[in-house]
């Protein structure tokens, strides 16, 4: 059964989805549109940090999209089908890319045939005809706008006051922990942190609350003897942020922005993109890691790490695109795969050490490349030195990319280390890699890149004599 | 104050708690001894700790040097291979076919992929080369591991280091060339081998079994492994030097002898099943009863030759099945061919009996064995998925071209009965058993199915073709 407009209407979950899909029919929204072997696929620049990847099987209208929508099919899949049927846009003939093949190998068989009209619940059928009616423009009454601005300011002031009160509570709690001692704290971390984290959530200091919530997990991934000193590091850092927040007017503007973000003041995508002063870098980028992690708040944090190719002096060498999707959705990883190459302009969130960014302009779609990653001539020790300098600038710096040349993966018991012979620097690899990275211990020198979180190194990419190794 | 002094003074108090162990006065003057100063010190110490470089271990493990002469699979095949072996709902068929191809083509998976296809590597390590075997053994204590050496050409000096399957094949070849020196070679390493290896190597002794093997076999009657002891006793009984084969006595007790024919009297045999063995259990009972008996032993005990024994079984289905099983076990495919003439549904009966090994058969014998049991079906090949599943599992090689031709000619996949559609992985099993020469034709048939059903089967034939192409280009 091939795709038709009637089929799209039958598939659409509601009229709103069709209306939303209609807005995506502009080719400019789609950096990539391609087809081959009975499939069509594309990349759609949505509100996420990374573009959504959509694929549709023409034979049975099977579909997959990396967006976090809970509507099936989502507006992106509907728009792709719609464009295909109307033939209003050219789909470039291409070989099926790896991410599409991955989907094909994992997809279930065709679902059961749709209920007949008699069996189905009577409901109004979405219609493309109605979706084509343009919506009335939103009114922009200046008085309404003024009232909204005043309300926003009132909310901001209320939140500032709530945060300050929350920080007072935090001080009291922290003082108790120091008096009881870190050895004692480690024994009851979960219980100790839960209450204060909840109080900070109520005080709208979600950044600090998140740090305290994650503290239990972080400590328990470490070997037992290392936990009390790690608790000193972590609680010391939280106290530092809370003190810095009270002094934001005295801090340089970028550090002040870092402090507010660490406490929980987020910068919206719209605010970032509309700010003419934010750092923007238009370059060729290589995806070197995609890390997906479920958070305690039932959101999945998907980090897409990029390395800049052809690094210009003074511009950030690395960037991370961060998406949050509900844990319950199937989008466990972002749209990009390690090895993808994109040409894009990124806007960086204001920071002393700019890493987090958002794509502002994509020049074409992502291309999977077998080329070796471009790495500067740095040893692991050189890179670690850069990390230390960055840490001096931003004391609560969390994850930082380290690239290296001529290092070795070495084993001691079950634990793997990334080892630099010359400086004798050994970084323990993340526990989750103690199986996957074992073969690297037998290949001699490697060049590569990974992420250091202050405790463990997540090896993301290695160029070896046996070819490329990628974290999976 | 430098970092080491701060560390030495502050850490003990921060760990124990400042209420139990107050911070030294020179860190916080008594006048400033308030909680804020303590917390400021906590931050400072915490930040100092963040600048400490992680302490590495004193020494590292030295990784073993594995000599793997096999060629690594082409880069372009790696991702499809991982995808196929880890695909949702994939069956064992692709894994078996791929393991065979790795072994036959002397290829190996990329070492970086071993953790990603761990289950496959553990199940088929012996066929994937020394690097994969080392990976599969990595949790074993050192004493149970081996040298991980898989030379291209085995000789007397290197044969003991190779994988068991190759050692067995080598031993069998040597037995045919010079039985005594082969046995001497086996004896020289016997004590170092694991029970499973001892059993399989002893099976190879079947080739060229003679009275000169008797002293060695006698020593095995005290072997620690019961399977080895049983097999040695059976060999000794066959050589006439051990006691009577108890399994043979049990079989003979169940075979009723009579005569048939009006003008020319012929011996007629009938297998009497125990009263408590009924229906499906009968075929299983037959296998279990006849597993340790050879057709020659049976014929000799009944006073006929092998062919006359088959003739005498006439139309007695259980007895014919027992003969099909013993001829299979003895690798007497010439006799199996005769049995199958009387028992055309031999394939399904052997499947129902639970036969689970073809023992020492070579690949070409396995192909011929399949051809023999499939031939009587003609165009009416079984449409029971489990019969094909069993055939693939037990044969361990691709189907013969003649069987596959019949599958393709009759469009078996497209014409499956309704009950067989959808659930069972028919497409995967056919892709796994299809010989290389017929893959293109099979691909055509597979393309008629929904892509979600054929994706694994098509991926398998593509990978197998890719592996073969790669090897021919070496």
CA distance B443 to B383: 20
Q: Kindly give the parts of chain B with pLDDT less than 70.
A: 29-34, 141-152, 242-243, 262-263, 422, 471-474
B204 and B227 part of one domain: yes
CB contact under 8 A, B50 and A454: yes
Best of B10, B42, B57, B136 to substitute, by most chain A Cβ atoms within 10 angstroms, is B42
What chain A residue is nearest to B66 in terms of C-alpha separation?
A: A442
Q: Which residue has the tokens 């291979």?
A: B81
- Inside any domain, residue B337: yes
- What's the mean pLDDT in A50-57? 89
Q: Is B80 on the interface with A (CB under 8 A)?
A: yes
What chain A residue is nearest to B42 in terms of C-alpha separation?
A: A236
Q: Is A106 on the interface with B (CB under 8 A)?
A: yes
Alpha carbon of residue A377 to chain centroid: 28
pLDDT of residue B175: 87
What chain B residue is nearest to A470 in terms of C-alpha separation?
A: B112
CB contact under 8 A, A181 and B15: yes
Best of B27, B48, B52, B56 to substitute, by most chain A Cβ atoms within 10 angstroms, is B56
B407 and B422 part of one domain: yes
- What's the mean pLDDT in A100-115? 64
Is there a contact between A466 and B111 (Cβ–Cβ < 8 Å)? yes
Q: Enter the CATH code of domain A269-368.
A: 2.40.50
Q: How many CA atoms lie within 13 A of B73 on its CB side?
A: 29
pLDDT of residue B337: 95
Say if pTM beats, i.e. exceeds, 0.90: no
CB contact under 8 A, A171 and B450: no
pLDDT at A396 over 60: yes
CB contact under 8 A, B57 and A412: yes
Per DSSP, chain B holds a count of helices (H) and strands (E) of 24, 4
Same fold, A269-368 and A380-470: yes
CB contact under 8 A, B43 and A243: yes
Q: Is B43 on the interface with A (CB under 8 A)?
A: yes
Residues of chain B positioned with their CB less than 8 A from the CB of A103: none
CA distance A453 to A457: 7
Size of the A and B interface in Cβ pairs below 8 Å = 171
- For chain A, the domains span 5-131, 147-263, 269-368, 380-470
Which residues have C-beta within 8 Å of that of residue B5, sequence separation ≥ 6? none
Q: Which residue has the tokens 């970028």?
A: A254
B260 and B233 part of one domain: no
CA distances from B273 to A321, A385, A432, B256, B319 (A): 73, 82, 58, 10, 10
B261 and B226 part of one domain: no
Q: Give tens-digit pLDDT for B393-449.
A: 999 999 999 999 999 999 999 888 877 776 778 999 999 999 999 999 999 999 888
Domain boundary among B213, B243, B273: B243
- Inside any domain, residue B308: yes
B239 and B187 part of one domain: yes
User: Using CB atoms, which residue from B60, B63, B110 is nearest to A442?
Assistant: B63
Domain boundary among B243, B261, B282: B243
pLDDT at A63 over 50: yes
Domain boundary among B219, B243, B267: B243
CB contact under 8 A, A469 and B80: no
CB contact under 8 A, B111 and A439: yes
pLDDT of residue A299: 83
Q: Is B33 on the interface with A (CB under 8 A)?
A: no
B166 and B189 part of one domain: yes
Q: Which two tokens stand for residue A351?
A: 């920071």
Q: Which two tokens stand for residue A77?
A: 């899949």
CA distance B435 to B212: 42
Q: Is A187 on the interface with B (CB under 8 A)?
A: no
CB contact under 8 A, A179 and B112: no
Q: Give tens-digit pLDDT for A261-284.
A: 999 999 988 899 999 999 999 999
Q: Which domain holds residue B284?
A: 244-355
Is there a contact between B103 and B466 (Cβ–Cβ < 8 Å)? no
- Give the A window 196-255 contacts with B, CB below 8 Å: 228-229, 232-237, 239-240, 243
Q: Is A1 on the interface with B (CB under 8 A)?
A: no
Q: Which two tokens stand for residue B388?
A: 């094909």
CA distance B191 to A407: 44
Q: Give tens-digit pLDDT for A224-263.
A: 999 999 999 999 999 999 999 999 999 999 999 999 999 9
CA distances from A68 to A78, A106, A271 (A): 15, 18, 22
This complex has an ipTM of 0.82
What chain B residue is nearest to A172 in terms of C-alpha separation?
A: B35
Among the ranges given (A188-202, A358-372, A407-421), the one the predictor scored with the smallest mean pLDDT: A358-372
- Return the exposure string of B397-417: e unless at least 16 CB atoms fall within 10 Å of the residue's CB, then b: bbbbeebbebbbeeebbeeee
B398 and B341 part of one domain: no
Q: How many CA atoms lie within 13 A of A150 on its CB side?
A: 6
pLDDT at A121 over 80: no
Q: Is B184 on the interface with A (CB under 8 A)?
A: no
Element (H, E) at A78: helix A75-86
pLDDT of residue A328: 73
Please tell me the distance in Å from B145's CA to the nearest CA on chain A. 17
pLDDT at A353 over 90: yes
B260 and B238 part of one domain: no
Which residues have C-beta within 8 Å of that of residue B338, sequence separation ≥ 6? B307, B310
Q: Is B2 on the interface with A (CB under 8 A)?
A: no
Q: Does the structural domain A380-470 have CATH classification 2.40.50? A: yes
B424 and B473 part of one domain: yes
Q: Which two tokens stand for residue A220?
A: 């328990």
CB contact under 8 A, A104 and B451: yes
User: DSSP H helical segments within B397-450, as ranges?
Assistant: 401-409, 426-433, 439-446
β-bridge pairing A318-326 and A299-309: antiparallel
Q: Residue A72 forms beta bridges with which residues?
A: none
Q: Is A36 on the interface with B (CB under 8 A)?
A: no
Residues of chain A positioned with their CB less than 8 A from the CB of B72: 466
B285 and B308 part of one domain: yes
* Domain count along chain B: 4
User: DSSP H helical segments within A189-226, as ranges?
Assistant: 189-202, 206-220
β-bridge pairing B71-72 and B266-271: unpaired
- Give the B window 83-122 contacts with A, CB below 8 Å: 83-84, 87-88, 110-112, 114-116, 118
B256 and B343 part of one domain: yes
Is there a contact between A241 and A259 (Cβ–Cβ < 8 Å)? yes
CB contact under 8 A, B452 and A101: no
């Amino acid at each position: 059964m091939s795709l038709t407009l009637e089929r799209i209407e039958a598939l659409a979950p509601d009229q709103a989805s069709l209306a939303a899909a209609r807005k995506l029919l502009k080719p400019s929204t789609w950096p990539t549109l391609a087809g081959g072997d009975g499939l069509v696929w594309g990349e759609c620049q949505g509100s996420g940090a990374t573009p959504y990847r959509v694929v549709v099987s023409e034979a049975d209208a099977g579909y997959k999209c990396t967006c976090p929508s809970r509507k099936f099919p989502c507006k992106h899949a509907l728009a792709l089908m719609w464009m295909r049927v109307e033939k209003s846009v050219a789909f470039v003939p291409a070989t099926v890319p790896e991410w599409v093949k991955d989907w094909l190998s994992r997809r279930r068989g065709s679902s059961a045939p749709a209920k007949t009209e008699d069996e189905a619940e009577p409901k109004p059928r979405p219609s493309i005809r109605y979706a084509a009616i343009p919506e009335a423009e939103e009114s922009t009454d200046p008085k309404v706008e003024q009232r909204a601005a005043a309300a926003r300011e009132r909310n901001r002031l209320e939140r500032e006051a709530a945060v300050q009160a929350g920080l007072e509570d935090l001080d009291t709690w922290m003082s108790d922990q120091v008096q009881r001692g870190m050895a004692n704290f480690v024994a009851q971390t979960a219980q100790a942190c839960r209450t204060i984290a909840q109080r900070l959530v109520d005080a709208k200091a979600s950044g600090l609350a998140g740090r305290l919530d994650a503290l239990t997990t972080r400590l328990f991934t470490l070997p037992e003897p290392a936990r009390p000193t790690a608790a000193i590091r972590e609680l010391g850092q939280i106290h530092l942020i809370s003190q810095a927040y009270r002094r934001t007017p005295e801090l340089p503007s970028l550090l002040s922005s870092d402090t507010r973000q660490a406490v929980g003041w987020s910068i919206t995508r719209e605010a970032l993109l509309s700010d003419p002063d934010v750092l923007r870098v238009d370059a060729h980028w290589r995806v070197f890691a995609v890390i997906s992690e479920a958070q305690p708040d039932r959101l999945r944090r998907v980090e897409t790490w990029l390395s800049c190719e052809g690094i210009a002096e003074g511009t950030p060498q690395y960037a991370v695109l961060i998406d949050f999707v509900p844990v319950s959705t199937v989008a466990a990883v972002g749209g990009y795969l390690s090895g993808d190459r994109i040409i894009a302009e990124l806007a960086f969130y204001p920071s002393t050490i700019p890493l987090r960014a958002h794509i502002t302009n994509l020049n074409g779609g992502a291309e999977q490349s077998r080329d070796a990653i471009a790495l500067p001539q740095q040893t692991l020790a050189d890179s670690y030195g850069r990390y230390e300098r960055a840490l001096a600038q931003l004391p609560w710096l969390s994850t930082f990319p380290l690239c290296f040349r001529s290092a070795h993966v070495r084993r001691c018991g079950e634990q793997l280390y990334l080892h630099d012979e010359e400086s004798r620097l050994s970084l323990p690899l993340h526990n989750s890699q103690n199986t996957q990275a074992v073969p690297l211990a037998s290949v001699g020198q490697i060049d590569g890149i990974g992420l250091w979180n202050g405790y463990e190194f997540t090896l993301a990419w290695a160029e070896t004599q046996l070819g490329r190794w990628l974290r999976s | 104050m430098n970092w080491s002094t701060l560390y030495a003074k502050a850490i003990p108090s921060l760990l124990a708690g400042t209420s139990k162990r107050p911070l030294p006065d020179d860190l916080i003057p008594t006048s400033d001894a308030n909680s804020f100063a303590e917390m400021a010190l906590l931050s400072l110490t915490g930040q100092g700790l963040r600048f400490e470089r992680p302490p590495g271990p004193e020494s590292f493990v030295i990784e073993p040097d594995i000599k793997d002469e096999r060629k690594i699979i082409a880069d372009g095949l790696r991702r499809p291979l991982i995808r196929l072996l880890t695909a949702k709902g994939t069956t064992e068929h692709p894994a078996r076919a791929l393991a065979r191809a790795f072994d036959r083509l002397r290829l190996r998976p990329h070492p970086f992929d071993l953790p990603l296809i761990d289950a496959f590597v553990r199940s088929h390590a012996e066929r994937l080369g020394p690097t994969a075997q080392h990976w599969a053994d990595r949790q074993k204590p050192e004493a149970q591991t081996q040298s991980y050496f898989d030379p291209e050409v085995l000789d007397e000096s290197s044969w003991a280091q190779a994988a068991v399957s190759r050692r067995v094949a080598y031993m069998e070849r040597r037995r045919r060339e010079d039985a005594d020196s082969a046995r001497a070679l086996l004896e020289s390493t016997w004590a170092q081998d694991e029970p499973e290896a001892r059993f399989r190597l002893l099976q190879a002794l079947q080739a060229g079994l003679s009275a000169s093997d008797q002293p060695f076999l006698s020593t095995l009657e005290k072997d620690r492994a019961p399977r080895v002891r049983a097999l040695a006793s059976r060999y000794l009984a066959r050589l006439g030097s051990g006691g009577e084969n108890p399994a043979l006595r049990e079989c003979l007790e169940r075979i009723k002898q009579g005569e048939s024919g009006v003008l020319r009297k012929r011996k007629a045999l009938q297998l009497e099943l125990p009263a408590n063995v009924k229906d499906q259990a009968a075929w299983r009972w037959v296998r279990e009863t006849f597993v340790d008996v050879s057709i020659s032993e049976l014929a000799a005990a009944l006073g006929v030759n092998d062919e006359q024994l088959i003739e005498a079984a006439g139309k007695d289905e259980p007895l014919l099945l027992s003969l099909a099983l013993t001829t299979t076990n003895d690798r007497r495919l010439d006799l199996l061919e005769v049995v199958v003439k009387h028992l055309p549904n031999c394939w399904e009966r052997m499947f129902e009996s639970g036969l689970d090994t073809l023992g020492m058969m070579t690949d070409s014998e396995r192909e011929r064995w399949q051809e023999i049991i499939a031939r009587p079906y003609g165009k009416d090949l079984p449409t029971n998925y489990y019969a094909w599943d069993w055939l693939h599992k037990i044969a361990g090689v691709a189907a013969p071209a003649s069987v596959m031709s019949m599958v393709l000619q009759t469009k078996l996949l497209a014409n499956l009965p309704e009950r067989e559609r959808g659930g069972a992985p028919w497409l995967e099993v056919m892709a796994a058993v299809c010989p290389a020469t017929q893959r293109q034709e099979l691909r055509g048939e597979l393309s008629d199915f929904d892509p979600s059903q054929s994706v694994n089967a098509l991926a398998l034939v593509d990978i197998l073709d890719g592996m073969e192409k790669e090897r021919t280009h070496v």
